Amino acid sequence: MSTLKNPQILLASDLADGEVLFLGANGWERNHARARVARDKDEAATLEQFGKAEIAANHVVDVYLADVEIGADGVPTPLHYREKMRIKGPSVRLDLGKQAAGGAR
């Protein structure tokens, strides 16, 4: 078991509506705070394997692991700009997505 430089979470896009998804303990979540966190390479490989199976089943697209930091509240927060923007929702239409619903769902 080899540790990762940073913990990681698995992201994808919902095939039906394009919304960003995070793999949680019981399947896909729309709230990154409930994302399952991989802390070593074996856990990360397990997440990736699940994501590939979900692609094959036509449930999601664009599956990948993203580095996160774990806050004092235990919530994983992405380290990179792309994922930071993805958790906020669409940036061109503020009347749509998470920001229209009053925050992360």
> Residue 52 falls within a domain, yes or no?
yes
DSSP letter, residue 95: T
50: tokens are 């699940």
> Residue 54 falls within a domain, yes or no?
yes
> Residue 47 falls within a domain, yes or no?
yes
> Residue 74 falls within a domain, yes or no?
yes
Could you give the number of structural domains in the chain? Answer: 1
What number of other Cβ atoms are within 10 A of residue 16's Cβ? 9
Least confidently predicted of 14-23, 42-51, 60-69: 14-23
> Residue 103 falls within a domain, yes or no?
no
Using the predicted structure, report yes or no on whether residue 1 has a pLDDT greater than 80: no
> Residue 100 falls within a domain, yes or no?
no
> Residue 55 falls within a domain, yes or no?
yes
Q: What is the pLDDT of residue 98?
A: 66
Q: What is the pLDDT of residue 85?
A: 87
Distance CA 89, CA 103 (A): 9
- pTM confidence score: 0.84
Using the predicted structure, report yes or no on whether residue 27 has a pLDDT greater than 50: yes
The boundaries of the domain holding residue 70 are 3-90
SS in 3 state form for 52-94? Answer: HHHHHCCCEEEEEEEEEEECCCCCEEECCHHHHHHCCCCCCCC
- Pick the closest to residue 54 from 8, 9, 13, 7 (CA basis): 13
Tell me the pLDDT tens digit for each residue of 50-72: 999 999 999 999 999 999 999 99
Using the predicted structure, report yes or no on whether residue 105 has a pLDDT greater than 50: no
> Residue 101 falls within a domain, yes or no?
no
